[in-house]
Amino acid sequence: MIEESNPETHSSPAIKVLLVEDHALTRMGLKAALKRTTDISVVGEASNGEEALAAADSLNPDVILMDVGMPHMDGIQATQKIRDKNPAAKVIMLTQHDNDRDILASLAAGASGYCLKDVEPERLYIAIRSVNAGDAWLDATIAGRVLRHYSTQEAKPSAEAQPAPVKSSAPQPESQPMDRPFAEPLSARELEVLKLIVDGLSNQEIADKLIISLATAKTHVRNILNKLAVDDRTQAAVHAMRRGLV
């Protein structure tokens, strides 16, 4: 584990990031990209899941950028263990792996975000800031896969015989009931915001798109979650697709 210090001072505390990546050159590239910002600070590095557990415990980072495929302990297992010990921990999976099993297993393990390693730096900054603020963040391509998975699962008749599940050591996400009634109908503005959530936009991007303040965008998102009786943005997007709201 490598600890870092950042000499820069900020008007508000920088977002503390722990990099977990087994390839040294990739870590160097990520660190260089994050140093271009003034509100994100790399406080430590780890090269495998076991080191990540120790670093998360000792450094208490705000956000952990976690690779999936690593020696000794992979990123999914490490995320599960970190979240078991600290349920408030915020993890973004940053990886070359875009297969459905890894995506869904990562989310089931408690990851708050999933990005591919070819993500543009500006999008990575947005992901870190969004997850640090308490939002979930999925790359647009990843979000589409998650939506299709949940929509397919929920569309199957309950009486239909299901094939035996594929055995996997990775944790699997539970499907969510999709037929709960609305607490109250969504307003026209909330429907606009819901469509942008389905499109994968962050709160800041929603605010910019609709020319409203970030606080107002967050209020709309919170109201949507409450009205749809869901826990997060991904579930809200699934409900929207399932019910034909967008």
Task: Please report, for the chain, the start and end positions of each structural domain, with discontinuous segments joined by +.
Answer: 2-142, 177-246
Distance CA 224, CA 201 (A): 15
Across residues 217-239, what is the average pLDDT? 82
Pairing between strand 2-3 and 40-46? antiparallel
Top-level class of domain 177-246: mainly alpha
In sequence order, what E strands does the chain have?
A: 2-3, 15-20, 40-46, 63-66, 91-95, 113-116, 137-138
Q: Where are the alpha helices (DSSP H) in 35-74?
A: 49-59
Q: What pLDDT shows up at residue 147? A: 67
- Which among 144, 72, 142, 70 is positioned nearest to 111, based on CA atoms? 142
Q: At which residue do the structure tokens 């569309």 appear?
A: 155
Task: Tell me the per-residue pLDDT of 161-190, one tens digit each, with 9 for 90 and over.
Answer: 444 444 434 444 444 443 444 446 888 899
How many CA atoms does the CB half-sphere of 106 hold within 13 Å? 31
Distance CA 74, CA 222 (A): 33
Is the predicted pLDDT of residue 228 greater than 70, yes or no?
yes
Across residues 125-149, what is the average pLDDT? 81
Which comes out higher in pLDDT, residue 49 or 153?
49
> Quick one: tokens of 197?
């959530």
Instruction: Answer yes or no: CATH 3.30.70.20 is held by domain 2-142.
Output: no
Is the predicted pLDDT of residue 93 greater than 90, yes or no?
yes
Task: Tell me the per-residue pLDDT of 41-84, one tens digit each, with 9 for 90 and over.
Answer: 999 999 999 999 999 999 999 999 999 988 888 899 999 999 98
Give the range with max mean pLDDT: 72-76, 134-138, 212-216, 223-227: 212-216
Is 137 strand, coil or helix? strand
Chain centre distance of CA 234: 9
Is the predicted pLDDT of residue 2 greater than 60, yes or no?
no
